[in-house]
Structure 1
Amino acid sequence: MTYQNTLNVLFNLKKTIPNYSCDTEKNLIAVIGGLDSETSLHMANFLSIYKIPQVTYCFFAALMNEKTEFPFVYQMVPNEAQQYNGIVHLFLHFQWKWIGIIALDDEKGDRFVQNLLPLLSQNGMCSAFIDRLPFVTSTDNMIEIFYLSRPRESMALFLTNTKVNVFVLNADTFTILMLKWFLYLAQTEDLTEAVMGKVWVMTAQWEFSSHIYYRNLDIDFFHGALSFTLNSNEVFGFQNFLQVLNFHWPKGDGFIRVFWEQAFGCLWPGTKLGKELIDICTGEEKLESLPGIFFEMSMTAQSYSIYNAVHAIAQALHARYSAIENHRTVTGDRGSLEPPHQQPWQVTACIS
């Protein structure tokens, strides 16, 4: 799917024909993304062929640090491996030596466990258990898996283990999604007391924004969690932008309709109604009325990284056009007043 979507970005055709584009108005200069290092890697495999700069806002696997293999990839956040030393120092500070490890049952989870275990051992700490959460691709699949005996027994085992009160988890989007399901089931099976009082230590990429079916889920059991974080600052005008945002005026935003309907539980004007009584979106709904678990009004670290990625590309374009204008001034060649068509590799040279 990532490869297909990347090709669609490159060639913008209903039927993807590699190395061919009939869209003369499209001038792809750079790409920002993706959500995780695996997605970024898949994107880079195609984008690098066309020397298109890719600015990422996710933590990177170590292999993507190789500039010889990925010369057009630029990172807005540090390498993920830097967190592991920080996690170990945190455990040493509080003298926590008996640690439960939670990770998704996929390649990212494998990498997390393989990197963390040697550091724990070298510093006199032990893993009480390693619990691998199942990876699912859909909500229906998720519900089916959770009602199987093995995941439920595994959940009960690590939650009721009184000797283990400290858990470390690789808190990417899917891991948090699965863990919230586990803990929700714990509440329904009278394991709430077992959940409370645990210390959750999470990596910096933790993701607590919720799907629509989580918006009313109580997450008190995460209060007091310790999470590493990336740098973030409030951007001037961002709060005002969110306060006045409504679905009437954003143009070219293909996500606003889906987000608005799910966030406010309403339907887009003109949508054919079925038998269910659902409110029509008015555009007067306010984002600040949404629960924090569903939508953050503050500038999160991830949002700030995306903002910086956009800013870096804008600065690169400005530097490129300024250099062209200076050259014209020196040579006396005024040429066309229109900004010249730029190739992606020309912009790459200006990204720092």
Structure 2
Amino acid sequence: MNLQNYQHLFAFYFAIEEINENIEILPNITLGFHIEDSCCHTGVSLCSVLSILSEEEDPVPGYSCHQQGWVSGFIGSLSSDTSHEIARITGIYRFPQISYGAMDTLFNDRVEFPSFYRTVPNDYSQFQGLIQLLNLFRWTWVGILTSEDESDQRGSEELKREIIRSGSCVDFLETMPLAFILTPEDFKRLKLTVYKVSKSLATVIIIYSTTSDFAQQFCFPWWQEIAGKQWLFSAAISSYTGIPSPDNIPVCSTLNGSLQFSIHKGKIPGFKDFLHNLHPATFPDPSVLNPLWNILFQCALTYGIEYLNLSDCTGKENLSNISPWQFDVNNFQFTYSIYTAVYALAHALHNMYTAKSQHGGNHTLEFQPWQLNQYIKEVHFKTSDGHEIFFEDTGNVPAHYDIENWVMESNDYVSSISVGKFNSIASGSQQLFVDQSAILWNPSFNQTPRSMCSENCVPGYRKVLQRQKPVCCFDCIPCSEGEFSNNADAENCMKCPDDQWPSEKKDECLPRVIDFLSYGDLLGVFLASIAILFFIITDVVLGIFIKYRDTPIVKANNRDLSYILLLSLMLSFLCFLLFIGRPGRVTCLLQQVAFGIIFTIAVSSVLAKTVTIIIAFNATKPNSKLRKWVGTRVSSSLVLLCSLGEVLICIAWLLIAPPFPENDTQSEPGKMILQCNEGSTIAFYSVIGYMGFLALLSFIVAFLARKLPDSFNEAQFITFSMLVFCSVWVSFIPAYLSTKGKYMVAVEIFAILASSAGLLGCIFFPKCYIILIRPDLNTKRHLIGKQYSKKAK
């Protein structure tokens, strides 16, 4: 005996009686009914439908012998399989069929099932609710158990596809036998399923079945041996809420803490009183109640055509004292849906009756079966508890689910707690509501269960899928340098903006450290101090040469070229002002250009000095044609001509690809180096190369003139100065290329300072020594005497 099925029967009968007593619905028309037991068998269902249509005990297809009234529609069935078989027959005649339990998505096909309706949500809406619940708790790795029923297997496969489509994964989908008495083969297969479930990393197991008593399978001992699993039941499965555990099945402690998507259980006003006052004498067919009374009251009923003998059941004929009915009568699933199904059909009949009356038709309900479908589609009313009933284009009602938490009571009863709702017609995130604080999990969990193949990747890491495994199985690897992730389970790391850099944990971006050679750096202060010191020294040397400009040693070395060289050295020492500090557009344009032109003037002056020495020495020879070239005009022209070449290179550089300020975020992690980009590397090295060419030419000329008489000879000092100059700039190139950021700038400043200091020291310090320390050597007589002594040798 299935107490739930009896309650469905009573809910159906109660709805019929209520409509017949309601003068506002179908006045003067009485609804009758014909009930056939499908026995959960498709073949029996087919025979039952034909029996109802033909009104014959031995049904004859296409034959009707109704003595009173006629069939207007069919209510049922509970399962999808039997509903499908019923629809195959009723669909031929276009009889409307309203199921109160079939949730299979195949009935959404209006071409195949144009006159099929249901007052329970279709499975697709349940799938969406289940997926939202999985997402809410972040259950990404689940298992599915289903029965051998064809509809169950079809629905479970669709559920699996929807879960995968949502981004979660299914570890397994296993089929279990329906029978309680198992064959050896069934038992072997079941044990393998139990083993697979117990070893799975999936904590959440979805039990999907349209068989109402499928949950009883999990009361057997082998399931109770499995701990640490969270069971999630589909809507069609009946819970044990309000029903004691059957005598032949152990207490279902396994189900303690389970969750279920339950079809909305609306309240049926007056139904509880109706059940408590139910009596065989008032029921149309007392034989229907005989098995129920026999089991509940332990007494037998005898009934005939004209009398009902209740002598054996005296004092026990009322259901109000029977413990199963003392609980909430609305707690059974599908009771409310069968109640609303009858009301929906009655409203459609009423609307059709009203329409016929308004058009002057007779008051009898003579119609073809297919005519009622249009009125069923237009049904829209509110039940007494405020629940709206209407059918969508697919013949479905909007999905309303209760989310229930099964809790084992101390008296071996399973009670349910409503912990949430799902409403398909709500918008977005408002569809699902769950009161997580109200959920009582199984005692094996001390917190909300976790169900995932791999632990979440924390911010700063990204997911890398494991080979040949679902997308929910992955490894977590740190983000690459320069990248971050600020969300859990990030599939890709992101790059920070150019002015930012990932934190140490790579879970956020922090402002980069701005780096450039500034006066606040110790290195900048040191270089600036050295440059200023040499600037002062050069200025002092220039002052000495100006003061002693009429002395022989100053005059003998072309004092105009000396002044030009000293001034260019002073400016070269001041070039550091363009290299130290925050780079800007103007400073970047002037840095290399000013340095190149100033240094070219200095090197050109040295070259002019060397050439002047050679011309002056050779001009003293008899009949020399070089005498007309002796003078400042030639040396000045040479300086101007050599410098002009560098100026042209710099102008071309500025016009074609000028230097510009650049933020270098690649050279050093976590830093943004402010620097000047040369714009054209070729132009930069052309400037350096041209200076190097002049320096090398000066070195060669000075080296060849090193043995000339001392009175005119600066060649030895120039040779050493050019050797220092060339050594510095040859070393500069690899050092410059191997450094980055402010150290690259420091290398160039050091090269400028070193080469300038080399020129200053090698060319001018010996002369200053003579001028200041040995003035006795700074006389014309000494120079002439030294010259003649050289010639005598």
Q: Per the shorter chain, which TM-score range? A: 0.7 to 0.9
Letter in 2 for 1:238: F
Q: CA deviation at 1:238?
A: 1.3
CA RMSD of aligned residues (A): 3.2
Tell me the residue number matched to 2:372. 347
Tell me the residue number matched to 1:238. 271
Question: Per the alignment, do residues 205 and 61 of structure 1 end up closer, same or farther by CA in structure 2, a change over 3 Å counting?
Answer: same
Letter in 2 for 1:95: R
Tell me the residue number matched to 2:233. 202
Q: CA deviation at 1:182?
A: 4.5
Contact 1:103 1:112 in 2 (8 A): no
Question: Per the alignment, do residues 162 and 316 of structure 1 end up closer, same or farther by CA in structure 2, a change over 3 Å counting?
Answer: closer
Q: CA deviation at 1:50?
A: 1.7
Cα distance between partner residues in 2 of 1:116 and 1:288? 43
Tell me the residue number matched to 2:46. 3
Tell me the residue number matched to 2:771. none
Contact 1:59 1:77 in 2 (8 A): yes
Question: Per the alignment, do residues 185 and 265 of structure 1 end up closer, same or farther by CA in structure 2, a change over 3 Å counting?
Answer: farther
Cα distance between partner residues in 2 of 1:121 and 1:339? 54
Question: Per the alignment, do residues 343 and 24 of structure 1 end up closer, same or farther by CA in structure 2, a change over 3 Å counting?
Answer: farther
**SS at 1:129 equivalent:** strand
Find the partner of 2:204 among 163, 166, 179: 166
Q: How does 1:112-131 map to 2 (within 5 A)?
A: 112-131=155-174
Q: Deviations over 1:117-140 (max 9, x none)?
A: 23333444333332211134xxxx
Tell me the residue number matched to 1:326. 358
Cα distance between partner residues in 1 of 2:286 and 2:95? 23
Contact 2:146 2:152 in 1 (8 A): yes
Tell me the residue number matched to 2:306. none
Tell me the residue number matched to 1:314. 346
Contact 1:76 1:308 in 2 (8 A): yes
Q: Deviations over 1:184-225 (max 9, x none)?
A: 243xxxx63525x53111222222369x99634423332322
**SS at 2:70 equivalent:** coil
Between the two proteins, what is the percent identity of the paired residues? Answer: 27
Tell me the residue number matched to 1:101. 144
Cα distance between partner residues in 1 of 2:149 and 2:330? 31
Letter in 2 for 1:145: T
Cα distance between partner residues in 2 of 1:119 and 1:160? 24
Which of 197-206 and 340-349 deviates more? 340-349
Q: How does 1:6-155 map to 2 (within 5 A)?
A: 6-136=49-179, 142-145=180-183, 149-154=187-192
**SS at 1:194 equivalent:** coil
Letter in 1 for 2:323: L
Cα distance between partner residues in 2 of 1:350 and 1:46? 21
Q: Does 1:215 align with 2:240?
A: no
Letter in 2 for 1:339: T
Structure 1 unaligned blocks of 5 or more: 137-141, 272-278
Contact 2:77 2:99 in 1 (8 A): yes
Letter in 2 for 1:222: L
**SS at 1:350 equivalent:** helix
**SS at 1:227 equivalent:** strand
Which of 309-318 and 71-80 deviates more? 71-80
Tell me the residue number matched to 2:292. 259
Tell me the residue number matched to 1:180. 216
Which of 296-305 and 154-163 deviates more? 154-163
Question: Per the alignment, do residues 47 and 281 of structure 1 end up closer, same or farther by CA in structure 2, a change over 3 Å counting?
Answer: farther
Which of 145-154 and 105-114 deviates more? 145-154
Cα distance between partner residues in 2 of 1:253 and 1:67? 40
Q: CA deviation at 1:115?
A: 1.2
Question: Per the alignment, do residues 119 and 49 of structure 1 end up closer, same or farther by CA in structure 2, a change over 3 Å counting?
Answer: closer
Which of 142-151 and 76-85 deviates more? 142-151
Q: Deviations over 1:78-135 (max 9, x none)?
A: 3211222222222222122332210012322321332122333344433333221113
Tell me the residue number matched to 1:224. 257
Tell me the residue number matched to 2:300. 268
Q: How does 1:284-295 map to 2 (within 5 A)?
A: 284-286=317-319, 289-291=322-324
Q: Deviations over 1:133-189 (max 9, x none)?
A: 1134xxxxx314378541442354146437443110113225x43x42343243xxx
Could you state the TM-score of these two structures normalised by the residue count of structure 1? 0.79
**SS at 2:280 equivalent:** coil
Letter in 2 for 1:298: N
Q: Deviations over 1:37-67 (max 9, x none)?
A: 2221111111121221111122433332122
Cα distance between partner residues in 1 of 2:327 and 2:313? 18
Contact 1:215 1:291 in 2 (8 A): no
Question: Per the alignment, do residues 347 and 252 of structure 1 end up closer, same or farther by CA in structure 2, a change over 3 Å counting?
Answer: farther
Cα distance between partner residues in 1 of 2:100 and 2:186? 36
Q: CA deviation at 1:7?
A: 0.9
Letter in 2 for 1:259: L
Cα distance between partner residues in 2 of 1:306 and 1:146? 39
Q: CA deviation at 1:36?
A: 1.9
Contact 2:219 2:253 in 1 (8 A): no
**SS at 1:135 equivalent:** coil
Q: Over alpha carbons, which structure has the higher Rg?
A: 2
Contact 2:104 2:123 in 1 (8 A): yes
Cα distance between partner residues in 2 of 1:201 and 1:131? 15
Cα distance between partner residues in 2 of 1:149 and 1:169? 19
Question: Per the alignment, do residues 233 and 253 of structure 1 end up closer, same or farther by CA in structure 2, a change over 3 Å counting?
Answer: farther
Please identify runs of 4+ aligned residues in structure 1 that moved more than 4 A: 279-283
Q: CA deviation at 1:32?
A: 0.5
Question: Per the alignment, do residues 226 and 345 of structure 1 end up closer, same or farther by CA in structure 2, a change over 3 Å counting?
Answer: same
Tell me the residue number matched to 1:275. none
Could you state the TM-score of these two structures normalised by the residue count of structure 2? 0.37
Structure with the larger RCO, 1 or 2 (CA within 8 Å, 6+ apart) = 1
